[in-house]
Amino acid sequence: MKIQQLKYVREIARRGLSISAAANALHASQPGVSNQVHQLEEELGLQIFERHGKRLTAITPVGESVIAMAERVLQDVDNIRQLAADSRSDQTGTLSIGTTHTQARYALPNAIKTFSEHYPNVHLNMVQGTPPEVAEMAATSKVDIAIATEGLSQFESLAILPCYQWNRCIVVPPGHPLLLAGKLSLEAIAEYPILTYVMGFTGRAQQDQSFTERGLHPNVVFTATDADVIKTYVALELGIGIIASMAFDPDKDAPLQAIDASHLFKPSTTHMGIRKGSYLRGYMYAFIEFFAGHLDKQTVKAAIEL
């Protein structure tokens, strides 16, 4: 039995039983992957996959157990490598973060800057994607840490830790009637075309719930994943924007103006997802604490230990 064979069967399971997709993901040839899986099954004397001709059609019951064990073995192998690297030097290595545009653009820069000053020889790899995408990256060890407001809870293999709470503001062009309307209300907002985040991003579901609870049906005419894009089209007077307050800078975003809306919406929480059972290197714990000061090493270790 070889470690590479376990990687192949795990990746085939992850890729919906597609040998070609697994081979592409692992930079291997399709015949090579298929041959190694056959060799493993012959060595074990059991079938991991059911087949119809050359096509894999299902995972056998015993195959489910084999793949679950392979997951644990491969995670332990990764942990051993991380432990060995930490023992050689706790000042060099790579930190991979999967996150959304909003977090990368507005929430992470200070933590990244502080981390880089303390660990100049650690390579930072930031991968942006949708919340489900970055959650899947963390669950499958493609990144060390996932940071997002939504999407992390769908993976039971992730330990989920709260980082910080945030709320929203309404962005309007200069001279907009809402600037003179006194205390802002959901009813007043709903009278205008709205530009905001795509569903599944940056607390959109929670935002919509506030309108629904008041029996309102806002006219959302434009959605985007990026607050900067939303602000661009607010400036073109397509409507008013609802964005995360942290995504508005009074100086850089002038002449647009922001109206605080934190009294109208429940706060959202940005979370961090880390695969349970992972070995985190010392600098990874340091980054987490730079980003969310209440998440010290002891707290994080307790959350990720199986």
Is the pLDDT reported for residue 272 higher than 90? Answer: yes
In Å, what is the CA distance from 145 to each residue of 86, 227, 279, 300?
17, 23, 12, 12
The position carrying tokens 């980003």 is 291
pLDDT at residue 306, as a whole number: 66
When pLDDT is averaged across residues 227-239 and rounded to a whole number, the result is 97
Backbone conformation region of residue 280, classed left if phi is above 0, alpha if psi is from -120 to 50, else beta: beta
pLDDT at residue 72, as a whole number: 87
The two structure tokens encoding residue 24? 């592409």
The two structure tokens encoding residue 65? 């157990």
Q: What are 109-118's pLDDT values in tens digits? A: 999 999 999 9
Q: What are 135-187's pLDDT values in tens digits? A: 999 999 999 999 999 889 989 999 999 999 999 999 999 999 999 888 899 99
Is the pLDDT reported for residue 286 higher than 80? Answer: yes
What backbone torsions phi and psi does residue 107 show, to the nearest 5 degrees? -100, -30
Burial state string for 214-240 with b = 16 or more CB within 10 A and e = fewer than 16:
eeeebebeeebbbbeebbeebeeebbb
Greater pLDDT, 110 or 71: 110
Q: What are 83-103's pLDDT values in tens digits? A: 888 888 888 999 999 999 999
Listed residue (17, 274, 282) closest to 143, CA to CA: 274
The two structure tokens encoding residue 89? 């030097």
Model confidence band, residue 228 (pLDDT cutoffs 50, 70, 90): very high
pLDDT at residue 25, as a whole number: 87
Picking from 70-84, 152-166, 224-238, which range would have the lowest pLDDT averaged per residue?
70-84
- Write out the E strands in 182-278: 194-197, 220-224, 240-244, 257-260, 268-275
Q: What are 206-216's pLDDT values in tens digits? A: 899 999 999 99
Is the pLDDT reported for residue 82 higher than 90? Answer: no
pLDDT at residue 201, as a whole number: 84
8 Å CB contact between 168 and 207:
yes
The kind and range of the H/E element at 49 are strand 49-52
8 Å CB contact between 242 and 223:
no
When pLDDT is averaged across residues 218-222 and rounded to a whole number, the result is 96
Q: What are 14-62's pLDDT values in tens digits? A: 889 999 999 998 899 999 999 999 999 999 999 999 998 888 999 999 9
8 Å CB contact between 143 and 96:
yes
Packing angle between helix 282-291 and helix 109-118, nearest 10 degrees? 140
Burial state string for 13-50 with b = 16 or more CB within 10 A and e = fewer than 16:
bbbebbbeebbebbebeeeebbebbeebbeeeeeebbe
Angle in degrees, CA 69, 152, 199, rounded to 5: 140
Picking from 71-85, 169-183, 190-204, which range would have the lowest pLDDT averaged per residue?
71-85
Listed residue (263, 130, 259) closest to 197, CA to CA: 130
Query: Rounded mean pLDDT of the chain?
Result: 93
Greater pLDDT, 78 or 196: 196
pLDDT at residue 16, as a whole number: 92
Listed residue (122, 124, 68) closest to 96, CA to CA: 124
